[in-house]
Amino acid sequence: TDDVTIPGADSQAAIDTSRAAFPESGNPPQRFVVRADSLTTPEAVVALTAAAQALAFEPEVAAAVPPTAYNKLLSTDETIGTIYVTLDVAGKDITKELANRLEAAVESQVGDAGIEVIPADAFAQVLDQPNNRRAEGLGLLAALVILLVAFGSVAAALLPLGVAIVGLAVSI
């Protein structure tokens, strides 16, 4: 299991309290940062509220909270805000497809109001991950060539590579 509990820790108490109050999701909220000249104009408020409602209709979303002057999710100059999104999936289970879909849901509602959307937290981590498949393949090929030169036979070169690949596969 991936659940780690630390009895007596303040962070564990916070998690337990959150799960008791919101049993549908014990996951910490993820964020979309939004930026515009003013996020308190009537047009911006309507767009941000619509964005939170659009997020709430997504099956993985337990709750979405738009920034307002009352919930302290706006900067003091009211040009930067945060949309909090509580998901039914843990941060480590957020896929690129999910992050893209949720970002598109927000952008579809706020784009016409001139509001920029910037993914944060796990959304940003997932969306910023480069595709390293080609580099990994080249690394394996280079390792094979080096092992061939060092050991002088295909069987001797493939054995350490095979063990390494199996070890990686088992650890994932």
Helices (H), 24-153: 42-56, 96-110, 121-128, 133-151
pLDDT single digits (tens) 135-148: 888 888 899 899 99
Among 14-18, 28-32, 35-39, 166-170, name the most confident range.
35-39
- Phi, psi for residue 62 in degrees, rounded to 5: -85, -35
pLDDT single digits (tens) 44-88: 999 999 999 999 999 999 999 999 888 889 999 999 999 999 998
* The model's pTM: 0.64
Intra-chain end-to-end CA distance of the chain, in Å: 14
